[in-house]
């Protein structure tokens, strides 16, 4: 089978398409014939080995796992002997490992049936970013109908999900983005938009919840926009030093939160069975739709990665796999 591999850390040029053996499902695993795979900044970090702290898990001098990819949508090709939820031929989406390939294996509880209203490409853009946004809003911030929610980084992968999900939960959504993405976030359901290139960030404590997915504003600035007992959820950001990235600000927020009435919380989005199924249920009905900006063939993964880091993507990028 074809798969995207990298034997060293670096820029997109290190990515190559190679021929590998097809995996065999074991126990409660399913073998997926990949139709599409989502691209996100997590894959860039794994490719680049930055911030350097990630190498403690991925390999100090070279990557332990050569094949990239987590988000996936495809068709069940084979099942392990303990699988009970799926049959050969089922269209599924979810999260696995080594998904930038024609075939991948994963535990059955990491997948759900693909909603019929979604294309393979839309469903492939769902698990990582959609579950991250869902956990941030539903579980961490505990968003309630009528609350004022601000999404910073609203035009990106997780942000485009957060705007739609916050609206789904009945919140009044303010989206923060650049000029080029203003109309895009409005189409997602944002009631108001702050173009950070021309407008100042509020200082009047108007937001019950701030979901910060951009990671470049000081905590003091964010707190002035937050209600006195509001919740700030920090879920991303590509700034920071080369060793720890944006984790320094996140750790400071956790420390400050111990002494404040405001909640400053960290968002870590792991794809688990319950929130994935909850997301699938939401996607089964009209109202929330994955925003796919562009689709690239698997062989153009390096171009897709360059497009991602250029910063002008509206929503998600997806790799199309012609297996």
Cβ burial of 304 (10 Å; 0-12, 13-18, 19+) is buried
Structure confidence at residue 286 (pLDDT): 93
Q: What is the pTM of this model?
A: 0.91
Average pLDDT of span 262-283: 91
Per residue in 1-46, pLDDT (tens digit) is 999 999 999 999 999 999 999 999 999 999 999 999 999 988 888 8
DSSP secondary structure letters along 103-168? EEEEEGGGEEEPPTTS-HHHHHTTHHHHHHHHIIIIIIS---TT-EEEEETTTSHHHHHHHHHHHH
In the chain the domains, ranked by start, together with CATH numbers, are 2-126+290-320 (3.90.180.10), 129-266 (3.40.50.720)
Residue 312 has pLDDT above 90, yes or no: no
Structure confidence at residue 243 (pLDDT): 46
Q: Rounded mean pLDDT of the chain? A: 92
Per residue in 207-260, pLDDT (tens digit) is 999 999 987 788 889 999 999 999 999 986 555 545 445 566 666 666 666 667
Average pLDDT of span 127-139: 97
Token pair belonging to 89: 């031929």
Structure confidence at residue 35 (pLDDT): 98
């Amino acid at each position: 089978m074809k798969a995207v591999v990298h034997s060293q850390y670096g820029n997109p040029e290190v990515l190559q398409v190679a021929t590998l053996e097809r995996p065999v499902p074991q126990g409660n695993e399913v073998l997926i014939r990949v139709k599409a795979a989502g691209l996100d900044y997590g894959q860039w970090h794994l490719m680049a080995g930055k911030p350097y702290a990630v190498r403690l898990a991925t390999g100090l001098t070279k990557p332990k796992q050569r094949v990239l990819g987590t988000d996936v949508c495809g068709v069940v090709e084979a099942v392990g002997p303990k699988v009970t939820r799926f049959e050969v031929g089922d269209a599924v989406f979810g999260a696995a490992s080594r998904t930038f390939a024609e075939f991948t294996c994963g535990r059955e509880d990491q997948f759900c049936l693909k909603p019929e209203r979604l294309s393979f490409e839309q469903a492939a853009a769902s698990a990582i970013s959609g579950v991250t946004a869902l956990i941030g809003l539903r579980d961490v911030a505990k968003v309630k109908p009528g609350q004022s929610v601000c999404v910073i980084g609203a035009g990106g992968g997780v942000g485009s999900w957060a705007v739609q999900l916050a609206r789904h939960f009945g919140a009044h959504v303010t989206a923060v983005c650049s000029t080029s993405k203003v109309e895009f976030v409005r189409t997602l359901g944002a009631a108001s938009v702050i173009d950070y290139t021309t407008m100042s960030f509020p200082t009047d404590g108007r937001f019950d919840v701030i979901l910060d997915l951009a990671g470049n504003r000081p905590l003091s600035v964010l707190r002035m926009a937050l209600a006195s007992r509001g919740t700030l959820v920090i879920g991303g950001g590509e700034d920071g030093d080369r060793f720890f990235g944006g984790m320094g600000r996140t750790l400071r927020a956790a420390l400050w939160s111990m002494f404040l009435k405001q909640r400053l919380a960290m968002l870590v989005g792991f794809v688990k069975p319950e929130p994935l199924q909850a997301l699938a249920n939401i996607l089964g009905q009209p109202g929330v739709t994955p925003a796919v900006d562009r689709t690239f063939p698997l062989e153009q993964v390096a171009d897709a990665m360059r497009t991602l880091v250029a910063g002008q993507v509206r929503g998600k990028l997806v790799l199309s796999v012609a297996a």
